[in-house]
Structure 1
């Protein structure tokens, strides 16, 4: 008995299924699992406010109660499976807003640190501008700035520098100084 050589014709391949590959499906599943992990990391209150289907909400709230790594991994696969059942665009918006909110807050702190350093390094024009802009806090701002300059010159601990930063945080500094 000999082997039959089957001849394939090009028209047989024309109607081949062009759906997502297995690799793409796995990638999508991992993305949904990561989205679930990110949402669970935001806390229980955020999960409850996200208006998720009840079984997804329950599964996300259960994550923190699972002690073992392998059990957590399997549970996250389950969460990814559940998240395939509904539109996750709302969840992505929540996670992105939380990430961007954190970066905005961090950028604000860096900006305040730069302002504080400019004040301590002797930028009297900036000090006068802040004094004129916020007269109710101007005197305290000037005292803390001069105290922080003395601390820096003498190499003392930055007590007034920290107090200056706290005072700057309370001021509505809405433009670049």
Structure 2
């Protein structure tokens, strides 16, 4: 949802969006308190992040955003999950070679997945989840937050207002957190 919102904002604001991998599987490693179904999803989630990292390494930064969108559409909006059909469809849509799928079944790219995840955690701290967004902060610094977690993704003027509000928060020295409990699951409009 956050990625869809950022793309909406980029229609009205000059954003320099750089997509990075953050892995819920890495974030939740070693947690024994997770339900079996969720642990299974985390294991299956390695394939898409490996695919994105391999594609970035082999074909450059410009493929990451479109591949991320194609994967998200299939995994979440179409409800296919992170399986073979979603991955092969995303590769076909983005014009990437199908043999990239070979990169998802082994741990060759796991160090890069972990490094990207660590980069996000280093920006915001250990007590967060995904997404992480980095914004311009006070006096030329960069401020990062966990979130925003929004559903559905704001569109039009609402998207721009949220962006402008986050910039205000990022420019406030000492601001750290806003949070409330979720009242609904993802809404894909």
TM above 0.5: no
Taking structure 2 as the reference length, the TM-score comes to: 0.20
Q: Which has the higher helix share?
A: 1
Structure possessing the higher radius of gyration over alpha carbons: 1
Q: Which has the higher strand share?
A: 2
